[in-house]
Structure 1
Amino acid sequence: MIWVFGIVIVLVLGGVAAVAAGRGEPMSEAYDDRPDALVPADRPLTAADLRSVRFSVALRGYRMSEVDALLARLGAELEAAREVADPPPAEEHDAPCP
């Protein structure tokens, strides 16, 4: 008699698991609910763009990939701005002094 109850319990638990799993259908794709760190890609960043950036929070802080991407872009834009603002000095030729 105990075996019958054991088999019934296993069948009931298996049925509950099948229903909970979606009756054999694959799980739907996960929805990524993280907010996007939106910055304009078609123009240089402004101070207002940087003030409005919000990174999504991960388990131990911010998502490193988002922060790294923004820092890499800021570094490249700063280098480009410095090259335009401060062109390299012209080479001095060895001309005789009068």
Structure 2
Amino acid sequence: MTTALIYLLVMLLVAAVVFLLASLVFGRGEELAPLAPGSSPTRLPAEDVTGEDVAATRFQIVVRGYKMSEVDWVLSRLGTEIDELRQRVTELEGRLEQGEVPTATAGRRDE
């Protein structure tokens, strides 16, 4: 009878330790208020998006989401492309203001 009581006490002690460790690791179970329908925590400016804006963009982390390293790589690539295109547009607008007329085939390769 005492052996069963000792086993029971040890099991309760082990269960209490596991519960305390789990509550420390995973928190107390508080939940954030849900977002309003149609809203997202991901933000970008409405106009003039720059490479820095794209690099600063963060997505929600979900269990079955995308691999974050791939998302970061795509965002980095898009940010670089946006910056290069904006620089090219600024350059071409400067040429137009100076009276130069760029040809339509300047950026094309001969096929």
TM-score (norm 1): 0.37
**Taking CA–CA contacts closer than 8 Å with sequence separation of 6 or more, which of the two structures ends up with the larger relative contact order?**
2
- Between Structure 1 and Structure 2, which shows a larger proportion of helix residues? 2
**What TM-score do the two structures reach when normalised by structure 2?**
0.34
The structure carrying a bigger strand percent of its residues is 1
Larger radius of gyration: 1
